[in-house]
Structure formats: structure tokens, C-alpha cells
Amino acid sequence: MGLVSAEITLENPKDATLQPLKVNALFDSGAVHLCIPEHGRIQLKLDEIDKKEVTLADGGKKLVSYVGPISIRFKNRVGFAGALVIGDQVLLGVIPLEDMDLVIIPKERILDVNPYSPNIATSIVKFALVGIKIQALKPQKALPEVFPLEDIHLPIKKDTTSVFFADREPVLD
């Protein structure tokens, strides 16, 4: 596909007195997060929220600062994200791209708003179970019209309390 870059604006939404930072960002559908260089973090006066271990393209691991929040603007789109402080160029991964409903057009090597929704960002929200304990129903129990979340059974490890996403409706045993 080649390299795709475009001008975006980064801002610190917690400090309106700071000038927005216009940068030429590299867009990479193989990357996940927004990445900014240290000088970008300094210019936007972004606080470190956490440290994250990242896996680099060569397979190496590195501990980096996670800062934010950051406002990202491109054309008529805006998104908010945290950023990993790494590298010497702003890199936009798939999380901010999806959040702002932006698409990479490989043939033209450009970034643009989704042509199927040019006026407003769209998103897909699927059935999600957040932080619940998964339990199976007794086989004799009839399917209730409205069922409580604690009775949802998905084909995943039991007694898990993380975030789950399902591409289909839950199954009741």
C-alpha cells in the first residue's frame, strides 16, 4: 500500500490556552494506538497517565509513557484518545481512525472521511457484555422474554469478569 500521511490537528482539551499542534501524521492500519514523539507531549503539556509495554515491529518490547487526553481533528471529524509517547513522528493507528470514521484509500494513498458517511462519523456497536460473571442457566429453564445479564452464557471460559464482545446474540443453555 505504501505510506499514507495527512495533516491533522492535536490539542490538549484540558488546557484551552495552548495552541493546537498541526502535524503531518503517518497513518498505519497495522498500528493500534495514537503515537506521538516526546516533543509533542511537551508542546501539548500532556500528563502521563500510565506506562504501557509495547511490542515493536521487530518483535522487541519497550516500556513507554501513555499520556492524554488528546483531541484529534481531521476535516470535519474529531476524536479523543490517549497516546503512546514513542518515535519521532505522529502515527495514527486503527483505534483513532475507527473512532473518527476515517478511511485509508490505498490506490490514491490518502486519508479521507468515510465516503459512505461524509457528513457525520458513524460507528458500529455490537452486543457487548461488560464486567459480568458468566453463568449457564439450568437446561430445564424456559427461555425468558427478558433475561438477566448474569444468566447469559457465551462459549468462553467460565468465571471470567473481563470485557466480552459477541458477534451474535447470547445463547441460553
Give the mean model confidence (pLDDT) for residues 86-110: 93
Domain with CATH 2.40.70.10 in the chain: 4-113
3-state secondary structure the chain: CCCEEEEEEEECCCCCCCCCEEEEEEECCCCCCEEECHHHHHHCCCEEEEEEEEECCCCCEEEEEEEEEEEEEECCEEEEEEEEECCCCCEECHHHHHHCCEEEECCCCEEEECCCCCCCCCCCCCCEEECCCCCCCCCCCCCCCCCCHHHCECCCCCCCCCEEECCCCCECC
User: Average model confidence (pLDDT) for the chain?
Assistant: 82
Query: In this predicted structure, what is the pLDDT of residue 137?
Result: 47
pTM for this model (two decimals) = 0.70
Structural class in CATH, domain 4-113: mainly beta
At 30-68, the pLDDT tens digits run 889 999 999 999 999 999 999 999 998 899 999 999 999
